[in-house]
């Protein structure tokens, strides 16, 4: 199962009043494990940067003036997210901006059924508690000390950790964050052993097991139809 954790930064709060996206950050999860694959885009909003927005994310109009417009990076973004679920904190905000930008270039909007809103998840799990990203980091002991300003990619990485906690805890990763992207994508927890370990079963063990199976009755065990099991070989 592939999921994309996503965040945006913008020039303001309302796309209907001319505010635009200036940064997009996405990180990939496979079976709820971060793979290290990500998409990070700065976007020229083709307008000024209000001071209050600049104080939030630190992206100036001058810096963004050299970046591509949304139409130029839209396909890279769409290719990365594919048709997979999108995990977003306060999803209505980000999806509203993204759909506005997609409409402007004639692309289909993001469907609501693929959106997972971690703000709603947090409110259901911790009713009455603060559900901001910083508050959730504090609740679950997640280090967000690098978050001196909002940044789309960094916030997506932090949100991925929060999301796993909201689903039941970090055991979902099994502590395997050090594994290579190749192993994660292949669905393996560890690399295969180059030389298989020899069997520790003796001939007496096999015979005893076959004798026990014979006492169960009901004819040949079903698994012998699918597996070349040692007890099947010993019984023949």
- Residue 159 and residue 164: Cα distance in Å, rounded? 9
Least confident range from 77-81, 218-222, 231-235: namely 231-235
Instruction: Report the Cα–Cα distance between both ends of the chain, in Å, rounded.
Output: 42
C-beta neighbour count of 59 within 10 angstroms: 24
Cα dihedral 69/72/76/78 (nearest 10): 80
Query: Of how many residues is the chain composed?
Result: 236
Q: Residue 67's beta-bridge partner residues?
A: none
Average pLDDT, the chain: 85
Q: Give the model confidence (pLDDT) of 185-232 as tens digits.
A: 444 444 555 666 667 778 888 888 878 877 776 666 666 665 554 544
Q: What mean pLDDT do residues 70-95 have? A: 98
Q: How confident is the model at residue 65 (pLDDT cuts 50, 70, 90)?
A: very high
Cα 158–Cα 161–Cα 166 angle in degrees, nearest 5: 125
Q: How confident is the model at residue 176 (pLDDT cuts 50, 70, 90)?
A: very low
- Residue 212 and residue 63: Cα distance in Å, rounded? 75
Tokens of 64: 């963004």
Residue by residue, DSSP assigns 198-223 as: PP---HHHHHHHHHHHHTT-SSS-GG
What is the reported pLDDT for 206?
A: 84
- Bigger pLDDT: 217 vs 90: 90
What is the reported pLDDT for 132?
A: 94
Tally of CA atoms within 13 A in the half-sphere of 191 that contains its CB? 8
- Of 217, 216, 212, 218, residue with least CA distance to 235: 212
- Residue 150 and residue 106: Cα distance in Å, rounded? 29
- Bigger pLDDT: 220 vs 172: 220
Q: What mean pLDDT do residues 63-92 have? A: 98
What is the reported pLDDT for 218?
A: 62
Determine what percent of the chain is predicted with pLDDT higher than 70. 78
Residue 89 region by backbone torsions, left for phi larger than 0, else alpha for psi between -120 and 50, else beta: beta
- Residue 7 and residue 94: Cα distance in Å, rounded? 7
Catalytic residues: 150
What is the reported pLDDT for 233?
A: 47
Q: Give the model confidence (pLDDT) of 108-163 as tens digits.
A: 999 999 999 999 999 999 998 999 999 999 999 998 888 777 899 999 999 999 99
Q: How confident is the model at residue 96 (pLDDT cuts 50, 70, 90)?
A: very high
């Amino acid at each position: 199962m592939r999921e994309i954790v996503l965040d945006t930064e913008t020039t303001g709060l309302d796309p209907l009043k001319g505010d635009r996206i200036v940064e997009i950050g996405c990180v990939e999860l496979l079976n709820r494990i971060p793979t290290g694959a990500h998409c990070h885009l700065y976007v020229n909003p083709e307008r000024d940067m209000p001071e209050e927005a600049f104080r939030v994310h630190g992206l100036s109009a001058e810096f963004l003036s050299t970046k591509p417009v949304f139409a130029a990076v839209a396909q890279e973004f769409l290719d990365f997210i594919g048709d997979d679920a999108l995990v977003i904190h306060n999803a209505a905000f980000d999806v509203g901006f993204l759909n506005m930008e997609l409409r402007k270039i004639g692309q289909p909007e993001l469907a609501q059924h693929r959106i997972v809103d971690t703000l709603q998840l947090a409110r259901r799990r911790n009713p009455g508690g603060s559900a901001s990203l910083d508050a959730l980091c504090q609740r679950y002991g997640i280090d967000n000390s690098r978050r001196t300003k909002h940044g789309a990619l960094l916030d997506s990485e932090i949100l991925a950790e929060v999301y796993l906690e909201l689903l039941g805890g970090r055991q979902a990763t099994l502590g395997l964050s050090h594994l290579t992207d190749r192993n994660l994508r292949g669905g393996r927890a560890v690399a295969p052993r180059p030389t298989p370990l020899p069997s520790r079963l003796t001939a007496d063990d096999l015979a005893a097991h076959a004798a026990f199976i014979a006492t169960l009755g009901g004819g040949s065990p079903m698994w012998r139809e699918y597996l070349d099991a040692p007890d099947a070989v010993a019984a023949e």
